[in-house]
Amino acid sequence: MAVLKQEQKINLTTKKQHPRLRSMKDFYRKLKRNKAALVGGYLILFLTIVSLIGPYFLSNGINDVDYTARLQPPSAEYWLGTDQHGRDIFSRIIYGGQITLIVGFLSVALGGIVGVAIGIASGYYGGKIDTVIMRLMDILLAFPGILLALAIVSILGPDIVNVIYAVAIYSIPSFARIARGSTLSVKKLEYIDAVRGIGAGDFRILVRHVLPNVISPLIVQATLSIATAILTASGLSFLGLGAQPPSPEWGAMLNDGRGYMHDAGHIALFPGLAIVIAVLAFNLFGDGIRDALDPKSK
């Protein structure tokens, strides 16, 4: 209890001095000035709501086959047309949004948790631990992300769960390096020495004082990584290594429609547009968050 009270006093005296301790009000004010970020945020909110509650209002199921209506163009009955099996593309895209968002958020969450823990520990303790960890991260970064994910899925087997693991693994180095770099600057501050001087242990310092002050660049990285994760997962499904038929994952739908580009281009067009919109939304929002959290911006 005594340590907690002393920490509170130290935090109050150093809060105005540390450039990373910014008010939420200032953050929202800067974010609202960025029109592109607002568009991205609204698109993310729209995609999330539609993916979560949209399936409850659909009259056509994702695997309702009707060969009498196959390859139908967009119409009043089938808003986005039908595929080669007569399935409603609109319904499948709505359902596929759930899969896409789950893959994006879960893979980045797993990679972020592991990467941040490794990066903070590496930057805080330094020495041989830092050297070994960073060399391992350099090895992972030497591989292009999509190729590393492709190799991992090839080993684990084609499945959407394995895609999540693959994307999470190749996301670890980025989070680790950002967390390490921020930790190296934070641990040199005087208030960290003061907290350590009153008896706080390493774990308490890392969780209560280091992590909150390195979270800003990690939030930006997480938002941008979700866009990369969606694109990677769709690419693996397009290659047949991700979600398997008859799953309505957008990349798998794109793969189904590539053989009908000339006769029924809408089969590949609409899943492709869904991927573009989702990736664009997270990139725009991530850029806006980065600008809003930048201490140099006014």
Residues 6+ apart with CB under 8 A from 273: none
- pLDDT value of position 8: 52
Residues 6+ apart with CB under 8 A from 254: 234, 237, 238, 268, 271, 272, 275
Q: Where are the beta strands (DSSP E) in 19-162?
A: none
- pLDDT value of position 94: 93
- Whole-angstrom distance, CA of residue 78 vs CA of residue 88: 6
User: Average pLDDT for consecutive 10-residue bins of the chain (298 residues)?
Assistant: 51 46 65 86 93 85 83 88 90 92 94 93 87 90 84 88 91 92 82 72 77 85 92 90 86 88 88 94 91 67
- pLDDT value of position 216: 83
Residues 6+ apart with CB under 8 A from 121: 129, 133, 206
- Rg (C-alpha) for the chain, rounded Å, is 23
- pLDDT value of position 59: 77
- Whole-angstrom distance, CA of residue 76 vs CA of residue 92: 17
In the DSSP assignment, the letter for residue 79 is T
Domains of the chain: 25-50+81-293 (1.10.3720.10)
- pLDDT value of position 18: 44
In the structure encoding, which two tokens stand for residue 9, read together? 């006093």
Residue with tokens 């709505």: 94
CB 252 within 8 A of CB 245: yes
- pLDDT value of position 141: 85
